Amino acid sequence: MRSRPVAFGDTHETSIGPASFFWPVSASADELPKNLLLKCEGKLTIILTKPTIDSLSPHKFETTLRLKDGELADTDSFFLNTNNCELKNGVVICTGKAVYPSTIDNGSESREMKSYINRETGEYNFFMETTHHTGSNATGKKTEGMKYMRTGICRPISKPIF
């Protein structure tokens, strides 16, 4: 296992090893691949409006991401997809916003997401903030919500297509 630096000065033990390159250096410095699969693992932290002991304890995550045509998609959950991906200073930066009908009442849920992947090291950070609204389409009074954070390492499991 290798110890890799992640956000907030923490360290992360990973079994997938170093991401010696995210995609070939010969690619343009500001060019995203059109299609690339990544295996990612690390630490997941969820902070609820009304936290519990269990919710404050980090958990491990492992997933496959697909960077395709400017969208970073989690192959395990379409709720965690970001788009508008750009490469800035060696970091892939993606954002996303979504509104979903509530599954527990007549309200709705809004989500704002940001993803970051370092091209050179494979360091991965994903942040999502969820807010519950009493009305549909993110209207009405804002009530509880949560913050969801992944920190870890990704490595390519396919050759990038440009």
The residue among 20, 18, 23 whose CA lies nearest residue 5 is 18
Percent of the chain residues topping a pLDDT of 70: 80
Question: Model-level pTM?
Answer: 0.78
Report, as an integer, the average pLDDT of 72-83.
90
Total domains in the chain come to: 1
Q: Which residue has the higher pLDDT, 85 or 161?
A: 85
pLDDT per residue over 113-132, tens digit each?
A: 999 999 999 999 999 999 99
Cβ-defined contacts of 139-145 (< 8 Å, 24+): 139/108, 140/107, 143/49, 143/107, 144/48, 144/49, 144/50, 145/49
pLDDT above 70 (res 2): no
Euclidean distance between CA atoms 112 and 96, whole angstroms: 6
Which residues, listed in sequence order, are joined to residue 132 by a DSSP beta bridge?
A: 109
Q: Looking at the domain assignment, is residue 18 inside a domain?
A: no
Q: What is the pLDDT of residue 28?
A: 57
Q: What is the pLDDT of residue 12?
A: 40
Structural domain harbouring 40? 2-10+34-156
Euclidean distance between CA atoms 95 and 36, whole angstroms: 18
Q: Looking at the domain assignment, is residue 118 inside a domain?
A: yes
Residue 92: CB atoms within 10 Å: 24
Which residues, listed in sequence order, are joined to residue 114 by a DSSP beta bridge?
A: 95, 127
Q: Looking at the domain assignment, is residue 26 inside a domain?
A: no
Q: Looking at the domain assignment, is residue 27 inside a domain?
A: no
Q: Looking at the domain assignment, is residue 114 inside a domain?
A: yes
pLDDT tier for residue 20 given thresholds of 50, 70 and 90:
very low
Q: Of 12-26, 46-60, 109-123, where does mean pLDDT reach its minimum?
A: 12-26
Backbone angles phi, psi at 8, to 5 degrees: 65, 25
Q: Looking at the domain assignment, is residue 23 inside a domain?
A: no
Token pair for 84: 């508008």
Euclidean distance between CA atoms 121 and 44, whole angstroms: 19
Q: What is the pLDDT of residue 43?
A: 96
